[in-house]
Structure 1
Amino acid sequence: MDIKKDVKQQFGKSADSYVSSAIHKDGNDLQKLVQLAAITGEEELLDIATGGGHTANAFAPLLKKVTALDLTPEMLKAAEKFIRGNGHLNVDFKIGDAEYLPFSDGVFDIVTCRIAPHHFPNVNRFVEEVQRVLKPSGQFLLDDNVVPEEDDYDLFYNTVEKWRDYSHFRAWKKSEWLRMLEVNGFEVYEIHRFEKTFEYESWCKRMNLSENEKDKLSDYIRNSPQKVREKFRVTIENDQVISFQGEAVILKALKR
């Protein structure tokens, strides 16, 4: 099945749970994303793959206009309900593909994308499109899960994410993000790394993983090499995975 159909199917089922998900709603990364933006109040912002709408919602009171874009109609409806419920009227909602943005060149002052690019099958095309729709010196604020540089750790993390969520494409290495941005006309201005603890039960539940698959995935994690379990701080109690730790980065890049 086409990965984009997978994304729409998976997130269509999970839309409301993403609005209420603590890791999406309350993450400290969201505050950091807002802090990194240089804002006068007159900017127009595009939030790509808005999901539950948390990033668009956080920026809406600070800017002239926000456009929230998502591939999945159900997700966009859930985001609109959430954002309108908070009284923000300067947000437009648009269905669209991150790799084929339905906008003219050079129209946005800021583009944000939070906890989403690991679903994009052609992430390089996505970066090119962000560069295209930004004004000169426009700000790109990127926030996503990444993998360590070591291949064994890369393989483990992408395996468990794909297992739990078939719409996952790839979490990239930090070095891969730096290269993609710089070869596509961006200067990386600031980068922050932070750790994310995934509570196994809620992490699986958010993607409606069956009990059988949840148990098989738990076995895979428990039987991984010790160095992998140590790297990802896997917590196990009574032969059950309780949590593990991943990492993410926030990047601020400027169009040059």
Structure 2
Amino acid sequence: MTDHEHTRGAGGDHAARLRASFTAQAATFEEPSLNAAFTAGLAWLVEAAAPEPSDRCLDLAAGTGLVGRALAPHVAHVTCIDTTPAMVERGRAAAATAGLTNVEFVLADAVDATVPAGSIDVAVTRFSLHHVPDPRGLLRAMLAACRPGGRLVVHDLASSADPAIAARQDAIETWRDDSHLRAPVLGEVAELLRGLGAAVDRTDQRSYTRPLEPWLAQSLTSSERADRVRSAFAEELAGGVPTGFGPEQRDDGVWFTQTWELTAAHRP
């Protein structure tokens, strides 16, 4: 099996691999010196969600509930759902420290019906689709949770429309964190949402350039896998195979660029 085939697959042990990966990463998930990228763009998502004081919100595959906690001061209630106990525990502690009394954390699979159908005004998910075997199922769960007129916001990595480059991007992401499966291609989330019956309101893209070494450190990538990522970037810098990440050699090390896509929609 090639690395690309591994990322496109969803073996039976993926749930365990995902939980193990994010249990290990719980302590570094919001560490600014390692993962400034994760806190970047929060205002972008909050603005797209257009929160109102009476809104009931759902943050699916929430991790530590960073997005849900960002929404909480603007809305009536937020339910954050994640499948990794360590992430849920961190989120609860952070919400308590911040004095957020309107945020609830639920340990469950994101596609389970843990909130009543049609009970949510705003459903969000961020940096999750590339980890789940069934992205369509997660989007379907978001849509089912929303009331008619309810809003959905999806913020995730986006891979190249060139299949060869997308395969290289997925392989590198998987070397870094083997819970990665497949990043959506640019425009794919909007297409999936339309196929599920949602009305897409906007699709925006941004580029985020970040240093390589903190990215590897945050995910606690093994030295062998980290060296594979470094080698792929070094090869491109030497004029070799493009990675899709546009690596740059700077005074403080190698930097690279990811493409992020935000898709906002509503339930008709």
TM-score interval (norm. to shorter): over 0.9
**Pairwise CA distance, 1:227:** 6.6
Alpha-carbon separation, structure 2, partners of 1:23 and 1:175: 22
Q: Is the 8 A contact 2:78 2:102 kept in 1?
A: yes
2:219 to 207, 212, 215: 207
Gaps of 5+ in 2: 1-11
**Partner of residue 65, structure 2:** 53
Alpha-carbon separation, structure 1, partners of 2:120 and 2:195: 21
Give the count of matched residue pairs: 252
Q: Is the 8 A contact 1:34 1:59 kept in 2?
A: yes
Aligned-residue CA RMSD in angstroms? Answer: 1.8
Q: Give the TM-score normalised by the residue count of structure 2.
A: 0.88
Q: Look up the SS of the partner of 1:160 in the other structure.
A: helix
**Partner of residue 219, structure 1:** 231
**Partner of residue 133, structure 1:** 145
2:245 to 227, 232, 243: 232
Q: Look up the SS of the partner of 1:11 in the other structure.
A: helix
Q: Give the TM-score normalised by the residue count of structure 1.
A: 0.92
Percent identity of paired positions between Structure 1 and Structure 2: 23
Write out per-residue CA displacement over residues 70-90 of structure 1, whole angstroms, 9 at most, x where no aligned residue: 110000111111121111111
**Partner of residue 15, structure 1:** 26
Q: Look up the SS of the partner of 1:138 in the other structure.
A: strand
**Partner of residue 24, structure 1:** 38
Alpha-carbon separation, structure 2, partners of 1:213 and 1:163: 5
**Pairwise CA distance, 1:36:** 1.5
Residue 116 (str. 1) matches residue 135 (str. 2): no
Alpha-carbon separation, structure 2, partners of 1:216 and 1:129: 36
Gaps of 5+ in 1: none
Q: Look up the SS of the partner of 1:172 in the other structure.
A: coil
Q: Is the 8 A contact 1:57 1:83 kept in 2?
A: yes
Alpha-carbon separation, structure 2, partners of 1:99 and 1:223: 39
Residue 68 (str. 1) matches residue 80 (str. 2): yes
Write out per-residue CA displacement over residues 192-232 of structure 1, whole angstroms, 9 at most, x where no aligned residue: 10002232111111111122321222112322464725x52
Residue 186 (str. 1) matches residue 233 (str. 2): no
Q: Look up the SS of the partner of 1:193 in the other structure.
A: strand
Q: Is the 8 A contact 2:55 2:76 kept in 1?
A: yes
Q: Look up the SS of the partner of 2:215 in the other structure.
A: helix
**Partner of residue 185, structure 2:** 173
Write out per-residue CA displacement over residues 125-158 of structure 1, whole angstroms, 9 at most, x where no aligned residue: 1111111111111100110001121112211111
